[in-house]
Structure 1
Amino acid sequence: MPDALAPLQNRHLEALERRYAEVLGALGYDGVLIYSGHPALHFGDDQHASFCSYGHFQHWTGQAGLTHSWLLVRPGQRTTCFVHAPDDFWHLPPSLPDEGWTEYLEVISGRFETPPAVKASRLAVIGDIDDDTARALGAERNPPALLIALDEGRVRKSEYEIACLSEANRMALYGHRAAQQAFLTGASELDIQLAYLKASRQRESDVPYGNIIGLGAHGAVLHYQHYANEAPVSRHSLLVDAGHRYRGYCADITRSWPGPDAAPTFAALITRMNDIKQQLVAALAPGVEFVALHERMHQLLGELLVESELVSASAEAALESGITRAFCPHGLGHLLGVQVHDVAGRMSREGTALPPPPEHPALRLTRELEAGMTVTIEPGLYFIPMLLGPLEAGPAGSAVNWPLVERLMPHGGIRIEDNVAIATNSVRNLTLEHE
């Protein structure tokens, strides 16, 4: 079957070749060798940890599972991919997908536990490489200026990349719909996870990050990592933060649903949090400072806390006193691409570090938005005892409706997350277009 995305991928690869030639030329390199990586052994064991290819290798090939493989980029010469595919009766060697990159690049299959020989007067090698390997190649290992420049080249997505991100969203939403249905039938977290994987056509080792399937109070654990195999007696809520990977590109979607035992206030909060998410998506545009948009989320959250009678002070006071941060400790969103938390979110175009403000240390994106970026927008509202306890004991605690907080505590929390591509004069919500 012909690859329908091949023309877009070819243009993507042409742009990559131009970008690499510009960067390598400016830094004085004749070429760069990119290593896909290799899985690590668990200590004292013969089992390997889960594996994902290096992001810059995926940027060219979209292959998240190719181990011990190499990509050689030299300006003026055809880019070559050395695919590690040795004869093996213990494991099935990788086969090449029917995708445009396999024709565009020169592909050489063989055994490449050690890197291929490369002729270049000044070579860089990037990836999970040790010093001995770099010395044997006569190459500079992971030069910082080169890495910063290549990371910056992944910030603005090509038309091909956005097509892949869109498809990843489409497939992830099959899983979210199946997860919701499983929840409504009384399933456990484990059964909801299995329903998600089946509907989205993934095995657990293929998802771009560990799915978060939180029933009730587990929804307040931001990176909840377990799947209880027994359903709770009371079904207050479900939070699902789960994605899909398509040709290396990641969807990162979160949905929250009230259960049959949910308080009416909680269901209303979900509706209002979705409204807040929509307002923040509508505010995306080139030139917008993401830190300011994150602060706008806290303003809107303060208004919601007052409106829902969780807080008796003004929205401004809730923001200034830190009340909103106790109810939402994470950032508004991040860059998205072949990595879920894609590179260069805290770096300017010129390579200057842009750390998050002290009051928002978890914010992963601190730069000005540009056309071509794809970002997540994920406002949240949580009932986290570890954060609410100190709030109650402090001076701002008198403004909080603690009896209502106590009634909502078993519901865990709410997060609504969409993936949005920013263009010059518009935004494209890659999640809602498939929902």
Structure 2
Amino acid sequence: MSDPLATLQRDHLQALERCYAETLTDLGYDGVLIYSGHPALHFGDDQHASFNSYGHFQHWTGQTGLTHSWLLVRPGQRPICYFHAPDDFWHLPPQLPEQAWTERLEVIPGRYDEAPPIAAGGRLAVIGDVSAATSAALCAELNPPALLAALDEGRVRKSEYELACLREANRMAALGHRAAREAFLSGGSELDIHLAYLQASHQRESELPYGNIVGIGSHAAVLHYQHYDTETPRERYSLLVDAGHRYRGYCADITRTWPGTNTDPTFAALISRMHDIKQRLVTAVAPGVSFVELHERMHRLLGELLVESELVKGSAEAAIESGITRAFCPHGLGHLLGIQVHDVAGRTARDGSPLPPPTEHPALRLTRELEAGMAVTIEPGLYIIPMLLEPLESGPAGQHLNWALIERLAFHGGIRIEDNVHVTTNAARNLTPEIE
């Protein structure tokens, strides 16, 4: 019986070969050599930093931890993977997975501390974390911007194989989120919750697509909270978990917020309403929709919620114009998703020209129109962040804020609800399973 995923991967690789051939020919290159990369040593130490293979290398192989390997792509020829697998008694050499790419590509195992010998002739580019000396030795152009922009654009619209990988990554991440919630309600610390997530999602910490954010109470107001308290908190106001999974190189990026045993009823209601806002925004995803406008719609919905919950007096429009909604939610609505959590080409047009974010929304990572085949995150939020709210107190906006309620909810930190969404030909398909 044939493996459906293997069939999809073969189709994916065939399309990649066509795309690369067209791109290289259009730009006048006879080939490109892609370097997977290598881990860096900590300064003054013999320990290496964490490592992740270069995205364009992963686009072909899905191998996230493969170091010192190279991929040669030339139009009309079978791609060659120089697979770095030296004999070693200190470490277990990498093994070739049983996946379709190892059959489609010519794989040459060996030791490739330096670039592999490439037959001279033609115009060659080399991309990745490659030194100028290596590029010169290869007589190759190092990371040419026009080629990089074109290859980045080739990752924007996902193949059926990539979507299958994203769905599996989401499925595994959802298992982790359910376990995290159970650990929280059972009285676990942030570290306990993090470890429960890893166990349920079947991954070690070094395999995560990004560092898990596990914030109890006020820690949930730190957007990229990076610590795990080992002590169980006395009061359990809320839990925010932003955590993912990586499958064959493709990333899930899911966030959930849950009430605890000491949650203020107003905050619990805000969590429920944020789920509703997220769903309304997911429903609005479709080809041709401006993501900037969708982000601005999030602020309108957030303004309405702030007024309904009596955190803000006045109108939703006034809350937006005065900057109040940006103080409650300083991050963007979402970003492209794929091999990288914040995938490439989110702020460039199809022709490679820059599309910078609006001045009033500098953190927005996706500024282009949505297209069929894209995978994006939708992640509205609402946070009690003192350093953003306190400056409003002395200005005109200060009179519109319910400071007593803000102070009461500050112990809860914040709320973020995030799903991963595939833009289809006419609407959206949510890749994230139900978790609640």
Query: TM-score, with normalisation over the residues of structure 2?
Result: 0.99
Asked if the contact 2:177/2:435 (under 8 Å) is kept, the reply is: no
1:376 aligned residue: 377
Distance (Å, rounded) in 1 between the aligned partners of 2:420 and 2:66: 26
2:50 aligned residue: 50
Q: Secondary structure at the match of 1:260?
A: coil
Asked if the contact 1:169/1:434 (under 8 Å) is kept, the reply is: no
Asked if the contact 1:165/1:246 (under 8 Å) is kept, the reply is: yes
Q: How does 1:210-249 map to 2 (within 5 A)?
A: 210-249=211-250
Distance 1:433 1:412, change over 3 A: closer
- CA deviations over 1:256-308 (Å, ceiling 9, x no partner): 00000000001000000000000000000000000000000000000000000
Asked if the contact 1:3/1:98 (under 8 Å) is kept, the reply is: no
1:24 aligned residue: 24
1:62 aligned residue: 62
Distance 1:186 1:434, change over 3 A: closer
Q: Secondary structure at the match of 2:253?
A: strand
1:11 aligned residue: 11
Equivalent residue letter for 1:167: E
Residue 395 of structure 1 and its aligned partner are, at CA, apart by 1.2
Query: TM-score, with normalisation over the residues of structure 1?
Result: 0.99
- CA deviations over 1:21-61 (Å, ceiling 9, x no partner): 00000011000000000000000000000000000000000
Distance (Å, rounded) in 2 between the aligned partners of 1:19 and 1:298: 38
Structure 2: give runs of 5+ residues left out of the alignment: none
Distance (Å, rounded) in 2 between the aligned partners of 1:145 and 1:434: 42
- CA deviations over 1:365-390 (Å, ceiling 9, x no partner): 00000000000000000000110111
Residue 434 of structure 1 and its aligned partner are, at CA, apart by 7.4
2:113 aligned residue: 113
> Structure 1 residue runs of 4+, over 6 Å off?
none
Superposition CA RMSD, Å: 1.0
Does residue 421 of the first structure (1) align with residue 419 of the second (2)?
Answer: no
Equivalent residue letter for 2:149: I
Of residues 219-228 and 420-429 in structure 1, the stretch that sits farther from structure 2 once superposed is 420-429
State the percentage of identical aligned residues.
76
- CA deviations over 1:338-363 (Å, ceiling 9, x no partner): 00000000000011100000100000
Distance (Å, rounded) in 1 between the aligned partners of 2:426 and 2:118: 45
Asked if the contact 2:37/2:128 (under 8 Å) is kept, the reply is: yes
Task: Work out the number of aligned pairs and report it.
Answer: 435
Distance (Å, rounded) in 2 between the aligned partners of 1:147 and 1:44: 33
Asked if the contact 2:28/2:123 (under 8 Å) is kept, the reply is: yes
Asked if the contact 2:377/2:419 (under 8 Å) is kept, the reply is: yes
Residue 118 of structure 1 and its aligned partner are, at CA, apart by 1.4
Structure 1: give runs of 5+ residues left out of the alignment: none
2:102 aligned residue: 102
Residue 182 of structure 1 and its aligned partner are, at CA, apart by 0.1
Q: How does 1:275-294 map to 2 (within 5 A)?
A: 275-294=276-295
Equivalent residue letter for 1:398: Q
Residue 402 of structure 1 and its aligned partner are, at CA, apart by 0.4
Equivalent residue letter for 1:176: H
1:306 aligned residue: 307
Equivalent residue letter for 2:152: D
Residue 391 of structure 1 and its aligned partner are, at CA, apart by 1.4
Asked if the contact 2:242/2:254 (under 8 Å) is kept, the reply is: yes
Residue 206 of structure 1 and its aligned partner are, at CA, apart by 0.3
Residue 393 of structure 1 and its aligned partner are, at CA, apart by 2.1
Distance (Å, rounded) in 1 between the aligned partners of 2:232 and 2:366: 37
Asked if the contact 1:190/1:229 (under 8 Å) is kept, the reply is: yes
Asked if the contact 1:332/1:379 (under 8 Å) is kept, the reply is: yes
Q: Secondary structure at the match of 1:393?
A: coil
